[in-house]
Structure 1
């Protein structure tokens, strides 16, 4: 598959993550969502959540879980994006989606989400993809809606007090379920 980032043209390849990829995946996810580095892209959560987005144990747990996988996108041998896929009966869950901040906005995310959907359909025969997004992330939700996801209005409370999900900077956070028929 070929993708043309803003500054260069490089082939994009996909593979399943292994435990050896954990450190690089943690760095990628943290850089896309937290701290000043995340501000280079548009997916930052730095203004609504401080602290960590994930850790090595959490990423390793997803990789070794037999019901899921972490899909890695590489350009020229470097990890540039990832996402979690988890088989949940007739649906797949899509999460931990991260694109290197300097490459965001170049169309890479569209390619990765399309590959994740194709993979879930072909490997698991699912007919829906589910994800949860922080409900105040209107720009991000709009991006997913342009990819065919619909808001369900089904909200799950944000786990305030559980720093594995970050340290909230506001008191109105919740996760909203988004669904797409595949």
Structure 2
């Protein structure tokens, strides 16, 4: 699959509380456990356990400066991301594409929609995100989409049980930035 489409064009919308259970399953399936190995974004060799939970997703939906953007295809939620307005920039997170659809252009389309939303809705000049620095292929994917690796490292939240259980003690997050033209 070379484009984000099966038989109908995917659509975007902002998530509601009713979407929380589906979003939790989607996010966890994209990164953790055996189901995540069907895609290329798995973190299963770095962490076990859940990637998110209903409380965290509901909390993001409740923030007035945060939106969770959903991509639907043929009536199903197939991808999502969270965008948060933080002054002169937006923060990108909670990004997930159904593992069996990864590599088909869905992620690229969701990222582009998040950038469009941040520019149009909030008028920000850049998008920022953090990525586990051990995820070289994922970092390279973002670089191909115009993000710059800053070299600024943020400690991994080892004390936060809601992000899963790390297999390694050397994890850290790298800050990536994309300036909008």
Runs of 4+ in 1 over 2 A off after TM superposition: 3-10
Give the alignment's TM-score, normalised by structure 1: 0.95
Deviation sequence 1:69-124 (CA, Å, 0-9, x none): 10000001100000000000010000000000000001111111011100100000
In structure 2, relative to structure 1, the CA distance for the partners of 1:17 and 1:6 (3 Å cut) is closer
Match of 1:155 among 153, 156, 172: 153
Q: Paired residue for 1:64?
A: 62
Q: Paired residue for 1:22?
A: 20
Shift in Å at residue 7 of structure 1?
A: 8.6
* Whole-angstrom distance in 2 between the partners of 1:148 and 1:80: 24
* Whole-angstrom distance in 2 between the partners of 1:110 and 1:6: 9
Contact preservation (8 Å) 1:51, 1:163 = no
Contact preservation (8 Å) 2:5, 2:73 = no
Shift in Å at residue 159 of structure 1?
A: 1.5
* Whole-angstrom distance in 1 between the partners of 2:102 and 2:41: 8
Secondary structure (helix, strand or coil) at the match of 1:40 reads: coil
Match of 2:137 among 132, 136, 139: 139
Q: Paired residue for 1:121?
A: 119
- The Cα RMSD (Å) is 1.4
Secondary structure (helix, strand or coil) at the match of 1:159 reads: coil
Contact preservation (8 Å) 1:5, 1:103 = no
Contact preservation (8 Å) 2:4, 2:10 = no
* Whole-angstrom distance in 1 between the partners of 2:129 and 2:33: 23
* Whole-angstrom distance in 2 between the partners of 1:103 and 1:46: 18
- Uncovered stretches (5+) of structure 2, i.e. residues with no partner: none
Q: Paired residue for 2:174?
A: 176
In structure 2, relative to structure 1, the CA distance for the partners of 1:76 and 1:7 (3 Å cut) is closer
Q: Paired residue for 1:78?
A: 76
Secondary structure (helix, strand or coil) at the match of 1:69 reads: strand
In structure 2, relative to structure 1, the CA distance for the partners of 1:7 and 1:90 (3 Å cut) is closer
Secondary structure (helix, strand or coil) at the match of 2:134 reads: coil
- Uncovered stretches (5+) of structure 1, i.e. residues with no partner: none
Match of 2:29 among 28, 31, 42: 31
Q: Number of matched residues? A: 180
Shift in Å at residue 5 of structure 1?
A: 5.0
